[in-house]
Structure 1
Amino acid sequence: MADLSFNLSGVDEALAKMKQVEALPKKKATRFALRKAANLVRDRAKDGALRIDDPQTANSIAENVVVRFDSQYFRQHGDLKMSVGVRGGSTSKAKNANNPGGDTYYWRFKEFGTEKMGADPFMRPAMQESIEPATNEFLRQFDKALARAINRANRGS
């Protein structure tokens, strides 16, 4: 999976609201907003995968594009991280047998190319085209989730 990242700026309002909320609701709100933003990237990647998928085969790269919470990263660093990728990655067929889209280990050949075949990327453009909409969606969902958490906290007081 290509590792692309970006920084958010101009989130002072959200940071001010975060100070009003305890750590647990803050993590829940952040995780919720991250998943909503990652879903936009996932949807765009699925659209790109449909473009390159061969409809005459039983395997579908698009059905294997997923969003996952990276719990190992969270345990190691304490930061929340969502990943958008293709289920199964580059594992063997035996491990990929349970994927609903079939065994699509070859997605990386399409994405990055080989020495005999040019690249036809769908994941990297999905991320690049989705940075602004995903950032806006994150801010919108995060603001909503924090407002709900603040309302719950004020009701309990």
Structure 2
Amino acid sequence: MAENRFSGLDQALKNMKDLPVKIRRSAGRKAVGKGAAILRRRAKENALRIDDKDTGRRIADNVGQRYRSKESRRTGDVIISVGVLTKRGRIPRGNPDEGPKGNTPHWHLKELGTSKVRAEPFIRPAGEGSVDEVLNAVAAELDKQVTNEVKKLGV
């Protein structure tokens, strides 16, 4: 496993201890959101390469990020997931092409492959190839948010 080096986090964590929990959570959510945005952008770029040009819908249009409030409340951690957003429920018969921003329930078949089709991963490489960039962005944003909150409180 590669060693990840990033700076700015030590001072931010030290300053965070002086802040109320509500402000800590807000600063953390903004910082993790910045990192998730980098992953989302990379996953969209990768998905554009594998999307079928003959159909109206694209997997890249449905790549997004979500704040996981239930898990965050349960664990106390800031959790933001990046993935392909699809409609819930049954896939309509014939899987009709709904055009731009249409549902793409087949995305996991492209990502993981099947016994008959080779995998064309686009989300995993986005995460694996940008670990340092994401961690640096999170550290920088966290330091910025915490510094601003400390200044506001006059601590």
Q: TM-score range by the shorter chain?
A: 0.7 to 0.9
Give the match's secondary structure for 1:116: coil
TM-score, normalised relative to structure 1: 0.85
Who is 1:131 aligned against?
131
Give the superposition deviation at 1:32. 0.2
Give the match's secondary structure for 1:38: helix
Give the match's secondary structure for 2:129: helix
One-letter amino acid matched to 1:18:
M
Give the superposition deviation at 1:56. 2.4
CA-based RMSD of the aligned residues comes to 2.5
Give the superposition deviation at 1:28. 0.4
Q: Unpaired runs of 5+ in structure 2?
A: none
Q: Does 1:105 align with 2:69?
A: no
Give the superposition deviation at 1:12. 2.5
One-letter amino acid matched to 2:45:
D
Equivalent position to 1:22, from 20, 23, 33:
20
Who is 1:69 aligned against?
67
Aligned residues: 147
Q: Which deviations, in whole Å up to 9, do the C-alpha atoms of 1:20-43 show, x marking residues without a partner? A: 211111110000000011000000
TM-score, normalised relative to structure 2: 0.86
Q: Which deviations, in whole Å up to 9, do the C-alpha atoms of 1:67-108 show, x marking residues without a partner? A: 1001121122121100001001785336xx999621101110
One-letter amino acid matched to 1:139:
A
Q: Give the conservation status (yes or no) of the 8 Å contact 1:53–1:60.
A: yes
Mapped partners of 1:38, 1:105: distance in 2: 22
Mapped partners of 1:135, 1:145: distance in 2: 15
One-letter amino acid matched to 1:115:
S
Q: Using a 3 Å threshold, how does the CA distance of structure 1 residues 9 and 99 change in structure 2: closer, same or farther?
A: farther
Alignment of 1:7-156 (within 5 A): 11-88=9-86, 91-93=89-91, 101-154=101-154
Q: Give the conservation status (yes or no) of the 8 Å contact 1:91–1:105.
A: no
Who is 1:4 aligned against?
none
Q: Using a 3 Å threshold, how does the CA distance of structure 1 residues 27 and 59 change in structure 2: closer, same or farther?
A: same
Task: Identify which of structures 1 and 2 has the higher relative contact order when contacts are C-alpha pairs closer than 8 Å and 6+ apart.
Answer: 2
Mapped partners of 2:103, 2:18: distance in 1: 47
Give the superposition deviation at 1:149. 0.4
One-letter amino acid matched to 2:66:
R
